[in-house]
Structure 1
């Protein structure tokens, strides 16, 4: 096997590790990139290098940004007194696509799981409670996935915020049991946000 072939095979193996891509899809994607080196591959490599260099977690909410504080947290117009709690950055991006929520977010980075040794500290739940107090939050919207772990985490957060005077609500109709926000259409997310209820 030549060095060039090894490089291509290495790229295929790396691409196959991406979610939604298996070995066959990765091979097709790499072939497409090679055929369109100038128009697609070179700009993609440059963009990936830039993101690898500059992307970081927002120090306030956990969103992915290219500065220490993301655009959402630094936008004073979004200081509405509402914090939407999501499991993952993909869920935050899904909420933003719907353009229905104009407050701020808190990204947990997962759900509570005794089996995986993921507790409240690993998810930044104490940091969320501190934010609620510091930012004068009136409402915390639990936009967690409708899975067993998601609902367990939601109940834990609701209990942790009990007695703070903050309204704790959750998304309502439109989010199916077992559904994940990243796979829902914008209209469904908007309807669920509008019909939220006290948790």
Structure 2
């Protein structure tokens, strides 16, 4: 394999990342090559460490380096509240806002009849089990304000029934919006003004 082909292969791999197309990937790779000592080698080392050590938390679905993520391992976070999010990026967006002090549960997506995604394809049964096992008083649904997000919210609310209070984020989250794209103030306002389903 020629050196040029190796570079093209790297560009092709980078272009598969969200937010990067072929042109952006090419610019990024060329920049990395120019800054090989300061950027590329440390980046390659960091990527190898993450590839070797990162894993999904067995309790909540967050990403960490142990069986339990730092949030689940922190006893101070056992507040009786669970914030349910679609993806790890949403969890991290909530953490950036530094307003929620409980624990999380990552669903891994939303229900979608069109895509054939049902409750068993998500971490909904695990959520119901956690509510039973962990003395949870409130489940806060921080799901996208989309049709699939709202369908998922109603399904979870029905599944949890009277076991605990179920609330959802309120004002501040636009219809069709995704948590990862919201600023910290909007997330804070939405969490503070949550409403019961």
TM-score interval for Structure 1 and Structure 2 normalised by the shorter chain: over 0.9
Structure 2 counterpart of 1:142? 141
Superposed CA offset, 1:76-132 (max 9, x none) = 000000000000000000000000000000000000112222111111211101100
Matched, 1:161 2:152: no
Distance 2:47 2:173 in 1: 33
TM-score, normalised by the number of residues in structure 2: 0.98
SS at match of 1:121: helix
Structure 2 counterpart of 1:72? 71
- Determine which of 182, 188, 191 is the counterpart of 1:190: 188
Matched, 1:5 2:4: yes
Q: Alignment RMSD, CA only?
A: 0.8
Distance 1:85 1:197 in 2: 14
Distance 2:79 2:118 in 1: 29
Structure 2: state its 5+ residue gaps: none
SS at match of 2:122: coil
Distance 1:41 1:142 in 2: 40
- Determine which of 168, 176, 179 is the counterpart of 1:178: 176
SS at match of 2:84: strand
Distance 1:169 1:92 in 2: 17
Pairs aligned (count) = 197
Superposed CA offset, 1:18-40 (max 9, x none) = 10000110000000000000000
Structure 1: state its 5+ residue gaps: none
Structure 2 counterpart of 1:95? 94
Moved over 6 A (4+): none
Structure 2 counterpart of 1:128? 127
